[in-house]
Structure 1
């Protein structure tokens, strides 16, 4: 299934059934909302409405294969609920928290979750805020998609993880360059050397590229980490 395949492609529909199982109907409803009010609210582009499965939902849902059973997952900068909502639909065993700073996006997420009747928590806030770290830190996994370059992302995400927890950052063509460039900054925030993995090869084409960083220690920020840090916008 190519990335630009139409959403009525037979292999795409088959993959959706395999990933979501008896929750496929809910996934279909989420896709419809994403293509409708998700577009009008500016959460996805107007030209993406007819390809929400191939460009958004499936390539997020396959992240589930990297997450252990029963994990608490914090989806940072969740936006349209990506990848958090597809993960919640594909993996009902996971405890999902969607972290989003913008009120209009939070309102949209809450309305979608109410309609789908999904037990997912929505928190309005930024990852670097003290309250967020105090209330929602200690996650097993932090996910992020199209949030920030890896150096900044690690500075926000790693304090939200327990020691041994992992950042799973969905990345595009910049992934390899970011892994090479930002390794020292990631180390300064207490992270392992970042590595690239690909997942979902039997369901999405091309596979989803994920940068994985484990929180190895609670570390003070090095001068390099301080230079590359910043605030979410």
Structure 2
């Protein structure tokens, strides 16, 4: 364990963090969740990289980590922040089995829940203060998976690469369709990581207007136009030719 980790994780969680690192390096590699070449850089590239996301997570919130995989960043975030509750959403059975074993082994059952599902299957059932993801999908797709899970006053937190600003520009139209506020981009862990990581925060533009299903820009207008067109056609059929 690098010394810098002691400034990121609570002292009472250090043993659990070390155990999780061992699980990733052993069972995680054996089951194909972590590549063998990732083991030497497990701390900086994966554990500490995920832990610094906590800098943008408010206290005491409900977090949903979509496409959690081996638990990055969801499990790490739970270890770094005992004050938050984390739901790990992952569709693949072998990954959810590993995650359930991790939760049991690290005694996180009261803080972390594992849900085997695609993000879309959770839509309309639950919302969260923070929805996290790490290298899951391009932003255009990520918005469709994540924003329906974001509570009115919540936000999406996506861990991205250094080209995140360009990705935001390419996705302006989709951000407008989802009625999102102006995205925030930040660099985290500059004093912790060999190479700081990038995070993107996307919130709702007007929290008061958020409902289920989320009202995408243009949908209401299209619906009204469609309804009006149907009424006009019915009236035309009733009146007959003139």
TM-score, normalised to structure 2, is 0.82
Q: How many residues align?
A: 210
Report the aligned-residue RMSD: 1.6
Counterpart Cα distance in 2 of 1:170 and 1:196: 10
Alignment-derived partner of residue 85 in structure 1: 75
Give the structure 2 partner of residue 154 of structure 1.
Answer: 143
The Cα shift of 1:64 comes to 0.5
SS for the counterpart of 2:68 is coil
Work out whether 1:58 is the aligned partner of 2:48. yes
Q: 1:20: how far off?
A: 1.1
Unaligned runs of 5+ in 2: 219-242
1:35-89 CA-partner distances (Å, limit 9, x unpaired): 1111111112121012211110001101101111101000011001010111101
Report whether the alignment pairs 1:215 with 2:204: yes
Give the distance between the partners of 2:141 and 2:215, measured in 1 at CA.
Answer: 15
Question: SS of the residue aligned with 1:135?
Answer: coil
CA contact (8 A) 1:183 1:193 kept: no
Shift of 1:106: 0.3
Q: Name the larger-Rg structure.
A: 2
Name the residue aligned to 2:114: 122
Q: Work out which structure has the larger RCO, using CA pairs closer than 8 Å and 6 or more positions apart in sequence.
A: 1
Residue 186 (1) aligns with residue 175 (2): yes
Q: CA deviation at 1:145?
A: 0.3
Instruction: Indicate if the aligned counterparts of 1:164 and 1:216 stay in contact, CA closer than 8 A.
Output: no
Deviation string 1:113-156 (CA, Å, 9 cap, x unpaired) is 10000131000111112xx123332x000000011000110111
Within-5 A mapping of 1:18-57: 18-22=7-11, 23-57=13-47
In structure 1, stretches of 5+ residues that fail to align are: 1-7, 224-233
Following the alignment from structure 1 to structure 2, what is the Cα–Cα distance between the partners of residues 153 and 106?
20
